[in-house]
Chain A
């Protein structure tokens, strides 16, 4: 039994940041914009959380710092895409570049070197009552509720319908008095909060370390989960779980087949799973196309 629990813990650990990132991608996707800045926002959240914990000694100050930085960056991205009419993909990659370059710059400015920063403690754990799962952070516990809330807001609320209208038919949204541009701003702000949580969970959920470039494509994977999950909250969360499942299986395979297959090639598996997921989506979509 303990092996099953271990497996579940590993999937929850690696899957939770992906799921939060995917939720952030979903809400922005619904508003009609491809969010390729997830990667950058995640690394900003991860860096701000660890640096905040080290400097202030309080987790709550750190997470507030992370959220405010990510929301500010999201508003910047919204402004450039919506008001300046920049290309969504390039602007998203620009935000990602700002995240990667900016965190390196900030870490070197504050600590004087690019070495990994270790925090004395991380996100509060869920406690001994949960048996083998007690080492997980509270964000893991919150994750199913976040997915459910996102589904409820997007599919069962007035706001969600207006958001979808802003994405699919901006004129319809405007005709009921919802400014699509403002709807997108709200979506970007929520995405900023979710990315901050994703980054915090990644850096301080179990490791309590921030290293350069530690997100390593997870933000892009979260975006791919949005595509694979067809922009649906639950579908995207399941897609993100699938990607992290493949990653965990790859790590398990190192233990058993490590002598035959290179460690680095097994690390490719989640990226390959992502390509596979997007490929399936493309095929499915093309069949419905006239």
Chain B
């Protein structure tokens, strides 16, 4: 039955020749150098945490857990804590997010869905220029240009919506009581975090599966219904992740906030975001550093450590969320 086969065709398999090459010296050196660089980069990050902790230790030992419940900042008197600055930081960041997320969402949708193809690159560049403008120029702009123009709005909100707890102000009709406020700082920071939020969202939206989009169109959907039913659900992870990356940036913003706000430590007064006065951990460090003694510096290190840990946690969450979204891990900023 079987076809006769020539003997030479059924000889047993020989082991395949495997190309094994020893690494040359230059390759070994190359690997070692590159590995060492990677390790050094890792090491810098570890060192940052380590040194901040060492220097903060003095202050943290004295203050104990009270460091997180005290609002005043008077290290010379032994009465200091990060609560006031922390509340201020969070308020600025929340205001920035409330404004920046819708704007970024619209910009990202416009670039990926609405804009004609030849406009996409220039638009992206324009958004990126916003990220390249130094933060001190944002600060100057916020202080000298934006503030005067926002105060009428603040006053209108304070006069007519003053019953909302956040919008309460003391002298609702005084122009002066609206300057240097958390709200203005939040506005400026919002503008500064729009580029990073937009970049993440744009990346995720552009990976929305074209098949599903075409399917939605073929079922008679309009552009908006395609966005609502395909693009937005698909990009949910990117929206959340991008917002959180923006949050991380907003928490750490220093100079723009320092230039705009006038420092205030009472958390109750801080929640009146339209009223004069605000605070943030980063601006606390920038303002108090030059006049601090050794113990004061240790206290500032403790504040810096708090900020460092918070931004790390926020960014780690953001990274996990972006990576887990359906679009895969290829999100580059």
- The answer to whether A and B come from one shared complex is no
